Chains A and B, each alone.
Chain A
Amino acid sequence: MIRDHFRILTVDLATGKGKVVTLEGRDTEAGGSGLAALLFNKYGHPDKPWDDPEQPLIFTIGPLTGYFPLMSKTVCGFKSPYHNQYGESHAGGRSALSLRFADLDGLVVTGKAERLSCLSIGSRHLELIDVHYMRGIDLQRSGKMLRKMIGGAGHRSIFRIGPAGENLSAYACITVDTYRHFGRLGGGAVMGSKNLKAIAIQGDGVFDLPEGKEYAELFEEVHKQLTTTDMMDKYHNLGTPVNVAVLNAIKALPIKNLQQTTDPNIKGITGETFADDTLLRNTACAGCPVGCIHIGFVREKFMEPNQYLYRQVSYDHEPIFATGSMLGMTNAFSVLSIIDMVEKMGLDVMSAGVALAWATEALDKGIISEKETLVPLKFDDAAGYKEAMQHLGLGSNDFYRLLAQGTLKAAEQYGGEDFACVLGQEMGGYATGEVFFTSQALGFRHSHLDSGGYSFDQKHEEKNVEEAVKFLLRDEQGRVLLTSMVACLFAREVYTDELLANCLNSLGYTTLADNMHQVAQHIQKLRWRLRLATGFDPAAVKIPKRFTEITTWKGTIDKKYLNNLKKEYAKRILELGKEEEKEPKKKAPKKEE
């Protein structure tokens, strides 16, 4: 619904009761990332640990969610088990439209349920359902059970966790509608700590649209841009896995725990091979006609003679890099079989793949033994990695339980910090050079999507620290505006400032449209203040030695440039977090309904 304030549902899992709260801030925090930070400021506890029952788990959408194509993402805000600081993770699926049609701008879950539970909400209902019998059940099976239990197929979204979330892995994900994820920074463990197996959101509300033709005509214009031009071809065609061959060709693909950046035998796991051999179909987030979700399959012979089963597995560049090139895999189906196990366990695929890549090298170097790994991890051995992923999700022994808290945590105890591919959290799939490494290591979400550092590396030969850091900060600001609307970042070329302003104006958000730049600046600072208040020290961030040992198309990594980038970016982040703001100011809640 179009409104000049936020309508938030808060639910206390200890009592199973909720409250609808009306909150000011539409013109200052907009929604999405801005609203999540606003809500953490209101409901969060910077000084308490991430798993304190009082900590909120926050889901937010934005003013354009559901009203325009590709405004289809949800922001999840929480104090992360990975670093015990405030963090964000984003997901699509049907999550955003479900929240929109449940008539909520945000959902805040606090407290801890007495027994493992599923929170079921909609525009006209709220129920906490006891699902204690689902403890330990993998994500695929629990998905089937939940779908039968909750009505409204097609017009609902189900967020759920697997064993990794229940076991409080610091990189347990929250799976959304089977194929999408709030992947990074351990949102799944936050749900696990709250005894929350699932959240089901029924999108059963109906809203009036703006009078006149302006809105409908603008919608059609945007839809046409997205579907009849080549702007989204990359995502619709091969999808993000197109990057595998491209990065490999420029010596920028992390391979075998970043021991290599290119491999002449990459063909077995390129986007082209995935499409030719494994692609079953594409699917889409609700409200997005692009259809970037690529679904492949795994086929297993479980009995002689010729008895097979199959499962469908979604793939993208990041899962292929993390469980493919980083683990030295050479076959697309083998990669899918590892992703399949990661999905069952409910782990963040990037962190899990990179963690096992480190464990493989650590085992090879004799830092750890099979006593720890339980299986003889070897690059390109899919069967071993599948088993190890299960151990990681289940926390089979002390080693896997520690590794599930983060690769560096394990390296601190066992050794091997130099070759732990961690940039704030386990790295993304780009070994493009100094700017990307700095961008992820210090970025707000430690995500490859915080800003386009990988792109800057590829477009700039010169080593200008000032220009690079200026770019990272400016790009972050542009992206935080989009993630406050909440747009899919794949649409960032389509949703220019002008188009965003037109969209906001067509819905009556004229003040927001007039002040987008100031609002983006404000949200950027608000988020950094929160991050610093919860303990982040950008000056203390270390980039492991492995990142300085690689060779890209530009040659070897320039350690001095990397160090200067890190220092300057850290300095600017600290300044951003400390800067006093005149306007806009936050207001107190107007009323409670």
Chain B
Amino acid sequence: MKTAKILTTPHMERCIGCHACSLACARLVNKRLSWDTAGIRIVSSGGLSTGFESKPCLACNPAPCALACPTGAFFQRKGGGVLVKRKLCIQCGECAAACPVDAIYLDATTEPFVCIHCGQCVPFCPHDCLEMAEVPAEPSPEEEGKEVAP
């Protein structure tokens, strides 16, 4: 059986709110310095005294954001979630509106930022809150062509 890896957040109770994961994603995947332009974002759940929540992509399959995308910029990734062809994106924001868990960040120009399950954030978490999990996967027709990371 073919498999793929997806990012999971099984130990968020351990999170100390250092934002190392989001900063790593912004820095390494999206080449930016930012809290927001990241595939995983950390928020306090009603003040710091109640701990932290992550806002990651849950790797839907089929992904509502990909279904909502009118230009094919967001397309289904094997194992769940999406990959992104930035050149095709018209910044309409439909992907973010379709996401049931608010995992897609739109910047001031409505450019979307979403987790592509690459796992580059994982080693930066000092408390091992994040894990890559193996899931069954069949490649989507789009994915058989070229993959373009954001």
- Chain A residues at the B interface, C-beta cutoff of 8 Å: 66-67, 69, 97, 100-101, 124, 143-144, 147, 153-155, 177-179, 203-209, 216, 219, 223, 227, 281-291, 293, 295, 311-312
Complex Cα gap A216–B33 (Å)? 11
CB contacts (< 8 Å) of A208 on chain B: these are 31-33
CB contacts (< 8 Å) of A154 on chain B: these are 17, 35, 41-44, 52
The reply to whether B36 and A206 form a contact with Cβ atoms under 8 Å apart is yes
Complex Cα gap A209–B24 (Å)? 12
Question: Distance in Å from the Cβ of A156 to the closest Cβ of chain B?
Answer: 9
CB contacts (< 8 Å) of B41 on chain A: these are 154-155
The reply to whether B19 and A286 form a contact with Cβ atoms under 8 Å apart is yes
Which chain A residue lies CB-closest to B35? A155
The reply to whether A291 and B18 form a contact with Cβ atoms under 8 Å apart is yes
Say whether, besides A69-B20, A209-B27, A101 and B48 are in contact (CB < 8 Å). no
Say whether, besides A206-B107, A207-B33, A216-B28, A289 and B47 are in contact (CB < 8 Å). no
Say whether, besides A97-B35, A154-B41, A154-B42, A227 and B27 are in contact (CB < 8 Å). no
Report, nearest first, the 4 A-B pairs whose CB atoms are least far apart. A154-B43, A291-B16, A284-B18, A289-B126
The reply to whether A209 and B17 form a contact with Cβ atoms under 8 Å apart is no
Interface-centre pick from B34, B35, B36 (highest chain A CB count, 10 A): B35
Question: Distance in Å from the Cβ of B58 to the closest Cβ of chain A?
Answer: 18
The reply to whether A283 and B27 form a contact with Cβ atoms under 8 Å apart is no
Question: Is the CB of B46 closer than 8 A to any CB of chain A?
Answer: yes
Give me 8 other A-B pairs in contact (C-beta within 8 A), A204-B35, A282-B16, A288-B18 excluded. A155-B36, A204-B36, A206-B33, A206-B37, A281-B51, A283-B17, A289-B124, A289-B126
The reply to whether B36 and A66 form a contact with Cβ atoms under 8 Å apart is no
The reply to whether B42 and A209 form a contact with Cβ atoms under 8 Å apart is no
The reply to whether A155 and B43 form a contact with Cβ atoms under 8 Å apart is yes
CB contacts (< 8 Å) of A216 on chain B: these are 27-28
Interchain CB contact (< 8 A) of A203 among B28, B35, B44: B35
The reply to whether A147 and B47 form a contact with Cβ atoms under 8 Å apart is yes
Report the tally of A-B residue pairs with Cβ distances under 8 A: 95
Complex Cα gap A69–B32 (Å)? 16
Question: Distance in Å from the Cβ of A81 to the closest Cβ of chain B?
Answer: 28
Complex Cα gap A281–B127 (Å)? 12
The reply to whether B19 and A283 form a contact with Cβ atoms under 8 Å apart is no
Which chain B residue lies CB-closest to A154? B43
Interchain CB contact (< 8 A) of A101 among B20, B27, B34, B49: B34
Complex Cα gap A170–B19 (Å)? 34
Complex Cα gap A210–B41 (Å)? 22
Question: Distance in Å from the Cβ of B20 to the closest Cβ of chain A?
Answer: 5
Question: Is the CB of B115 closer than 8 A to any CB of chain A?
Answer: no
**Residues in B37-62 with C-beta less than 8 Å from chain A:** 37, 41-44, 46-49, 51-52
Complex Cα gap A289–B108 (Å)? 28
Complex Cα gap A392–B16 (Å)? 33
Say whether, besides A153-B43, A153-B44, A205 and B20 are in contact (CB < 8 Å). no
Bits for B121-132, please: 1 = Cβ < 8 Å to A, else 0: 000101100000
Interface-centre pick from A154, A286, A288, A293 (highest chain B CB count, 10 A): A154
Interface-centre pick from B19, B27, B46, B124 (highest chain A CB count, 10 A): B19
Say whether, besides A216-B27, A223-B124, A284 and B46 are in contact (CB < 8 Å). no
Say whether, besides A153-B44, A154-B43, A289-B124, A178 and B49 are in contact (CB < 8 Å). yes
Which chain A residue lies CB-closest to B107? A206
CB contacts (< 8 Å) of A205 on chain B: these are 34
**Residues in B92-142 with C-beta less than 8 Å from chain A:** 107-108, 124, 126-127
Complex Cα gap A520–B108 (Å)? 38
Question: Is the CB of B7 closer than 8 A to any CB of chain A?
Answer: no
Complex Cα gap A182–B71 (Å)? 50
Question: Is the CB of B84 closer than 8 A to any CB of chain A?
Answer: no
CB contacts (< 8 Å) of B63 on chain A: these are none
Interchain CB contact (< 8 A) of B34 among A124, A153, A206, A281: A206
Interchain CB contact (< 8 A) of B46 among A147, A286, A289, A293: A147
The reply to whether B43 and A178 form a contact with Cβ atoms under 8 Å apart is no
Which chain A residue lies CB-closest to B111? A206
Bits for B4-24, please: 1 = Cβ < 8 Å to A, else 0: 000000000000111110010
CB contacts (< 8 Å) of A291 on chain B: these are 16, 18, 126-127
Complex Cα gap A284–B125 (Å)? 12
The reply to whether B19 and A287 form a contact with Cβ atoms under 8 Å apart is yes
Question: Distance in Å from the Cβ of B16 to the closest Cβ of chain A?
Answer: 4
CB contacts (< 8 Å) of B37 on chain A: these are 206
Complex Cα gap A144–B44 (Å)? 12
Complex Cα gap A223–B21 (Å)? 12
Which chain B residue lies CB-closest to A146? B47
CB contacts (< 8 Å) of A204 on chain B: these are 35-36
CB contacts (< 8 Å) of B44 on chain A: these are 153-154
Chosen A-B contacts, 26 in total, with CB atoms closer than 8 Å, are A66-B23, A124-B108, A147-B47, A154-B43, A155-B41, A178-B48, A206-B36, A207-B32, A207-B34, A208-B31, A208-B32, A209-B31, A209-B32, A223-B20, A281-B51, A283-B16, A283-B48, A284-B16, A284-B18, A287-B19, A288-B18, A289-B126, A291-B16, A293-B16, A295-B49, A311-B49
